[in-house]
């Protein structure tokens, strides 16, 4: 229904490279926040970014949909290809890019609107629907995907800020899903949630993998181990190691990775 | 002893008490402050507060009450038939006070003692001539009865001042001694002085509220007097405003209310869009450098006195609108008009709205904007669909506050819209507002108890009720739609 042109191509191969980053550097004013990062993010895969605070993992995530553009002192160099197209090319409109690469933030940030309008926000601004019935359907499927439908189906017109923290975060995920992105970026989506809500969101991430490529930044190594197939370890602005999650957690090649996952640094 | 010197003495005593209290507290523990219940300064503070505050409060109360008591006693001497008539009593009191101040001047100029003053008699010495010599002009020969009362008045004032000095000093010393004596190591000085400070704060808040109550009461009494001599239905529903000096005036509210609302409407049409657009620019689009220049520049308008705006309306905007709009369109040739006043009040209100709206827009959390950008919304979509709806209650509040300012504006209307009360739709016609007529009715030469004067209070009450309703409505909107961002 709201399939994007790339999804047919993507379904051909499960290991198709969705995003390819080469030599990415980020400066925040004087600070060199990210040094020479090369990563290939696969389609229909959950990729986890782990590392101690200030290691550059969130910075790199925000490069992937050019959210760093809104920070005036940030300067990004290097090359990031989404389906082979440079997203930092002058011809690329960051607004269109962000419609394809959605984002869920650390703190739930529902708009001060009704639950329905929160989810319908993306489809409306991108003109994804022709009729009210179609929009209703998108709202319903998105809320179902975010495992929130049963809790809110009778109060869609109530304000989204009145939900509990975990419900708010799932609403934000539903909101991102409704825009039909190809990649979903999640910046510590569970840090403000209790264990039950965390479990629900993690389950959700696993389901979303069938449709999108998901990139998640997390402070919890258990969470990375539970939800991801690929893991990248960042340390002091460097990408130290990037491999299958299993390998990173059982057989890390770099001593820094080993120290971090065994709890000796970070 | 004058009030100023007395206050200085009390303050000096209190400051001395502060140091004495502190050192006494330290002495009681042989100079080891750790053994005290509170920090040494709190002991000093209790002495300071208990010395100064009760004495100063007593002095303030005395200064308010003493004239009331003396006036009542002097008026009592006039006899029951004068005391019963408030305006005759007021006139007599004014005579008494004028002669008393004349006697003060006479005493100072001639160097007479109090006993010699006491012996002076109106029917023997030429009081009027002697007072004229020291610069106090009296209209008529002095009535011996009034003269005696003036002397009594002086005696009572002097006696009262002496008693006040003694009482206040006594209160200060008593507070000083009592609070010094109770200082011991385990005296809870911090708790005592903090409780004391809390009460001072409560009393201050009470004064603000009592003032409002006083204003409302005085407004209400005069309004009730007006309605007892002029029918309320003619005031509220009368379509003509035509006060006459000889009485028999038409005092209809509707033309004034219409003028007020019309001018307010025009001013809001000017101020609201420009103010909000300016706020969106400074809050969302301007770089920090531009913002730091533009915002203060807009706010400069708020610092211009309204009378200067009135001049601008009178000499620039009014003639301009008349020559380029009213006359070519055939809408009259009046220099002062609703349009002129509305436009200028609107300009005055732009910084008011833009500054408040800018703060409100800035208070919308960045995470809300990030959420919208993260879904691929453009900047203008984010502002229209997320930021402004979130800021709306605050913006509505700002608009209503600006509206109540426009309703209460006097100077610009006087100079820009004229003073003729008319019911007209033509915005290039001169009209006037409630506030202008309040000033107009009170500054005339009419006696104070005529309906032509008292109508000012009825108009004032009406204005008060309108702006109060507007403010309550604004608060209600803000509270109802305020979003909890957390």
Taking the C-alpha atoms of residue B194 and residue B417, their distance in angstroms, rounded to an integer, is 54
Q: Where are the domains of chain A?
A: 6-261
For residue A263, how far is the Cα from the chain centroid? 25
Confidence of residue A1 (pLDDT cuts 50, 70, 90): very low
For residue A167, how far is the Cα from the chain centroid? 18
Query: Which residues of A are less than 8 Å from B485 in CB distance?
Result: 112, 161
Q: Say which of B374, B376, B385 has its CB closest to residue A126.
A: B376
Return the CA Rg of chain B: 32
Taking one residue from A and the other from B, the number of pairs with CB-CB distance under 8 angstroms is: 76
Q: Say which of A98, A111, A159 has its CB closest to residue B386.
A: A111
Average pLDDT by stretches of 10, chain B with 486 residues: 87 94 89 86 92 92 89 78 71 79 78 73 69 70 77 85 92 93 88 92 92 91 90 88 79 90 94 95 91 89 88 90 87 85 93 91 90 90 90 87 89 86 86 89 74 88 91 81 54
The pLDDT, as a whole number, for residue B173 is 94
Query: Which residues of B are less than 8 Å from A175 in CB distance?
Result: 371, 375
Q: Do A67 and B374 count as a contact with CB atoms less than 8 A apart?
A: yes
The pLDDT, as a whole number, for residue A263 is 81
CA nearest neighbour of A185 among A88, A247, A97, A121 = A97
Pick the CATH number of A6-261 from 3.40.50.2000, 3.40.50.300, 3.90.1300.10, 3.40.50.1820: 3.40.50.300
**Is A74 within 8 Å of chain B by CB?**
no
Residue A210 tokens, joined: 């069938």
- Ramachandran bin of B305, using left for φ above 0, alpha for ψ from -120 to 50, beta for the remaining angles: beta
Cα atoms found within 13 Å of the Cα of residue B378, Cβ hemisphere only: 7
Would you tell me which residues 105-124 of chain A have a C-beta closer than 8 angstroms to some C-beta of chain B?
A: 105, 107, 109-113, 121-122
**Is A99 within 8 Å of chain B by CB?**
yes
Taking the C-alpha atoms of residue A123 and residue A141, their distance in angstroms, rounded to an integer, is 13
Taking the C-alpha atoms of residue B389 and residue B368, their distance in angstroms, rounded to an integer, is 11
Mutation for testing the B interface, residue in A29, A58, A100, A111 having most B CBs under 10 Å: A111
Check: CB of residue A177 under 8 Å from CB of residue A121: no
CA distance A72 to chain B (A): 9
Q: Do B377 and A112 count as a contact with CB atoms less than 8 A apart?
A: no
The pLDDT, as a whole number, for residue A94 is 87
Return the CA Rg of chain A: 18
**Is A179 within 8 Å of chain B by CB?**
yes
Domains in chain B (CATH in brackets) are 3-195 (no CATH), 241-481 (1.10.3720.10)
Q: Say which of B375, B389, B483 has its CB closest to residue A102.
A: B375
Determine what percent of chain A is predicted with pLDDT higher than 70.
94
Q: Do A103 and B365 count as a contact with CB atoms less than 8 A apart?
A: no
In order of A11, A109, B3, B139, the CA distances from A210 in angstroms are 10, 25, 86, 104
Q: Say which of A98, A112, A126 has its CB closest to residue B373.
A: A98
DSSP string, B257-298: HHHHHHHHHHHHHHHHHHHHHHHHIIIIIS-HHHHHHHHHHH
The pLDDT, as a whole number, for residue A11 is 43
DSSP string, A100-157: HEEEE-SS----SSBHHHHHHHHHHHTT--SSHHHHHHHHHHHHHHTT-HHHHTT-TT
The pLDDT, as a whole number, for residue B1 is 64
Query: Which residues of B are less than 8 Å from A110 in CB distance?
Result: 371
Predicted confidence (pLDDT) at residue A9 exceeds the cutoff of 50: no
The pLDDT, as a whole number, for residue B170 is 94
Confidence of residue A147 (pLDDT cuts 50, 70, 90): confident
Average pLDDT over residues A51-69: 88
The pLDDT, as a whole number, for residue A117 is 93
Predicted confidence (pLDDT) at residue A145 exceeds the cutoff of 50: yes
CA distance A257 to chain B (A): 31
């Amino acid at each position: 229904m709201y399939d994007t042109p790339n999804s047919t191509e993507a379904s051909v191969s499960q290991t198709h490279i969705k995003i390819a980053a080469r030599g990415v550097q980020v400066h925040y004013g004087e600070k060199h926040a990210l040094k020479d990062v090369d990563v290939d993010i696969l389609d229909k895969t959950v990729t986890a970014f782990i590392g101690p605070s200030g290691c550059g993992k969130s910075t790199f995530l925000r490069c992937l949909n050019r959210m760093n553009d809104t920070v005036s002192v940030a300067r990004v160099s290097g090359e990031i290809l989404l389906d082979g197209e440079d997203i930092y090319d002058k011809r690329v409109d960051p607004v269109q890019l962000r419609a394809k690469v959605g984002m869920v933030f650390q703190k739930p940030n529902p708009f001060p609107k009704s639950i329905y309008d929160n989810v319908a926000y993306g489809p409306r601004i991108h003109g994804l629907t022709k009729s009210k019935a179609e929009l209703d359907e998108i709202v319903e499927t998105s809320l179902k995907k975010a495992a929130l439908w049963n809790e809110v189906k009778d109060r869609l017109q109530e304000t989204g800020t009145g939900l509990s923290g975990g419900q708010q975060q799932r609403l934000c995920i539903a909101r991102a899903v409704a825009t039909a992105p190809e990649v979903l970026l999640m910046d510590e989506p569970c840090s403000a949630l209790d264990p039950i809500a965390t479990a629900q969101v993690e389950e959700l991430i696993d389901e979303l993998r069938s449709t999108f490529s998901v990139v998640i930044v997390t402070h919890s190594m258990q969470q990375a181990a539970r939800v991801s197939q690929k893991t990248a370890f960042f340390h002091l602005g460097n990408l130290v190691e990037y491999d299958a999650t299993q390998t990173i957690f059982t057989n890390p090649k770099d001593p820094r990775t080993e120290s971090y996952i065994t709890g000796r640094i970070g | 002893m004058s009030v100023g010197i007395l206050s200085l003495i009390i303050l000096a005593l209190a400051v001395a008490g502060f140091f004495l209290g502190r050192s006494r507290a330290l002495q009681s523990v042989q100079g080891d402050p750790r053994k005290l219940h509170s920090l040494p300064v709190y002991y000093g503070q209790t002495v300071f507060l208990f010395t100064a505050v009760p004495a100063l409060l007593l002095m303030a109360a005395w200064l308010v009450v003493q004239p009331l008591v003396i006036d009542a006693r002097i008026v009592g001497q006039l006899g029951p038939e004068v005391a019963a008539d408030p305006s005759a009593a007021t006139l007599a009191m004014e005579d008494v006070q004028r002669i008393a101040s004349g006697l003060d001047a006479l005493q100072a100029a001639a160097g007479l003692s109090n006993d010699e003053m006491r012996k002076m008699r109106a029917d023997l010495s030429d009081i009027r001539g002697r007072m004229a010599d020291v610069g106090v002009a009296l209209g008529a020969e002095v009535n011996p009865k009034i003269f005696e009362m003036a002397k009594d008045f002086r005696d009572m004032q002097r006696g009262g001042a002496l008693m006040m000095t003694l009482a206040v000093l006594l209160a200060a010393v008593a507070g000083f001694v009592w609070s010094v004596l109770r200082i011991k190591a385990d005296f809870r000085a911090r708790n005592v002085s903090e409780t004391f400070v809390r009460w001072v704060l409560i009393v201050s808040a009470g004064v603000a509220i009592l003032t409002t109550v006083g204003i409302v009461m005085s407004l209400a009494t005069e309004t009730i007097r007006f309605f007892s001599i002029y029918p309320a239905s003619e005031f509220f529903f009368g379509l003509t405003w035509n006060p006459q000096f000889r009485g028999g005036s038409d005092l209809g509210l509707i033309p004034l209310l219409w003028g007020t609302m019309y001018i307010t409407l025009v001013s809001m049409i000017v101020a609201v869009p420009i103010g909000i657009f300016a706020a969106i620019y400074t809050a969302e689009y301007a770089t920090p450098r531009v913002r730091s220049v533009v915002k203060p520049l807009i706010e400069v308008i708020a610092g211009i006195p309204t009378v200067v705006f009135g001049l601008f309306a009178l000499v620039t905007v009014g003639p301009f609108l008349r020559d380029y709009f009213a006359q070519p369109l055939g809408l009259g040739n009046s220099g002062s008009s609703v349009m002129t006043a509305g436009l200028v009040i609107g300009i005055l209100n732009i910084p008011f709205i833009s500054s408040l709206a800018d703060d409100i827009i800035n208070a919308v959390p960045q995470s809300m904007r990030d959420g919208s950008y993260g879904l691929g919304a453009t900047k203008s979509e984010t502002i229209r669909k997320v930021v402004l709806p979130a800021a709306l209650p605050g913006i509505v509040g700002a608009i209503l506050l600006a509206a109540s300012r426009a309703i209460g504006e006097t100077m610009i209307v006087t100079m820009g819209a004229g003073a003729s009360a008319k019911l007209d739709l033509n915005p290039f016609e001169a009209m006037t507002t409630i506030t202008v007529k309040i000033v107009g009715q009170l500054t005339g030469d009419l006696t104070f108890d005529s309906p032509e004067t008292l109508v000012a209070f009825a108009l004032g009450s009406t204005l008060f009720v309108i702006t109060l309703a507007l403010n309550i409505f604004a608060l209600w909107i803000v509270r109802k739609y305020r979003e909890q961002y957390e």
